[in-house]
Amino acid sequence: MNISSVSSESGGVSRGVSFSNTKSLSFDGTNDFANWSSNSVIPNLMAGGDFSWSYWVKKADFIGAGSGYNSQFFYALNFFGSGISTFLLGAVGEESHGTQARKITASCVRGTGSGSTYFSWVSNSSIASAFNNDAWNHVVFTFDTSGSSRLVECYVNGSEIAGTDSTSNNTKASLSGVDFGDIALGSQTFNAGSNTFDAGELDEISCYDKKLSSSEVTAIYNSGVPTDESSRSNLVGYWRLEDDGTDSSSNSNTLTISGATFTTDVPS
């Protein structure tokens, strides 16, 4: 259990009340998942400007022995007409993956040609030493639209992970109104076949319609102990996962939980 009382200001946050983190959400890897009311919720939140995701995750093995991806956050594969879209955030290539073994990626692509790549980033090397297996880890992805392409940065436990963006066909097009399929937690979704499921635990998910600075990432990581994000500027999603899927931000995008259970195992 994490209970703290903080009186400080950091990155637009003023805190002076007690904050308690007592639950996380556990996925069994068999049939548990959680998703939102429609496929449009996440793309509409991210839209066309700067953005950031923050989450806490615990897995027995962050890589895995297969040839696909070990997903810790978002993974959706969606066929449409004559094309295909992918939405990956926090997917790690397993040991026998052909091109991205042991690397973490963020990728959002729909179809081909100019504007078809919304973002595409992969770590330069193995993330095996960045994550601690069977322990809580903090992950942040930021998206920068100040240039001609949408660029990604990734932090694990407060440290930036070196990576490379692909800018081919990346015109930083808006994600708003685009159907990338069922973007869910705990499941790799596939609209033309069977979903697969990933075991693990998630906690304290938040997102912001700005690019978090490195100092803000450090403050949110807080040496491995989650803190209250309710008053941080630009907060547009906040799922604390304290017994339900309530979104504590003003947008109220409730997360529907299917099979996954709450546990008292939390970052501390």
Provide the CATH number for the domain around residue 239. 2.60.120.200
Phi and psi for 206 in degrees, rounded to 5? -140, 155
Tokens, residue 224: 């491995």
Number of Cβ atoms within 10 Å of the Cβ of 243: 11
Number of domains in the chain: 1
Q: Which sign does the torsion angle of CA 257, 259, 263, 266 carry?
A: negative
Q: Which residues pair with 153 in a beta bridge?
A: 142
Alpha carbon distance 125, 245 (integer Å): 34
Q: Could you tell me if residue 13 is inside a domain? A: no
Q: Could you tell me if residue 68 is inside a domain? A: yes
Q: Would you say 131 and 156 are in contact if contact means Cβ atoms under 8 Å apart?
A: yes
Alpha carbon distance 52, 44 (integer Å): 14
pLDDT of residue 4: 55
pLDDT averaged per 10 residues, the chain (length 268): 52 62 98 97 98 98 97 96 93 98 97 94 98 98 98 98 97 96 97 94 98 98 98 98 98 98 98
Q: Could you tell me if residue 145 is inside a domain? A: yes
pLDDT of residue 6: 45
- Domain range for 236 is 21-200+207-263
Q: Could you tell me if residue 10 is inside a domain? A: no
Distances (CA, A) of 248 to 12, 21, 184: 17, 14, 18
Closest by CA to 233, choosing from 252, 208, 204, is 208
Q: Could you tell me if residue 95 is inside a domain? A: yes
Q: Could you tell me if residue 36 is inside a domain? A: yes
Q: What is the DSSP secondary structure assignment for residue 214, as one 8-state letter?
A: H
Q: Could you tell me if residue 42 is inside a domain? A: yes
pLDDT of residue 18: 73
Alpha carbon distance 55, 241 (integer Å): 11
CA 211 to chain CA centroid, nearest Å: 14
Alpha carbon distance 105, 90 (integer Å): 6
Q: Could you tell me if residue 41 is inside a domain? A: yes
pLDDT of residue 7: 41
Alpha carbon distance 181, 197 (integer Å): 16
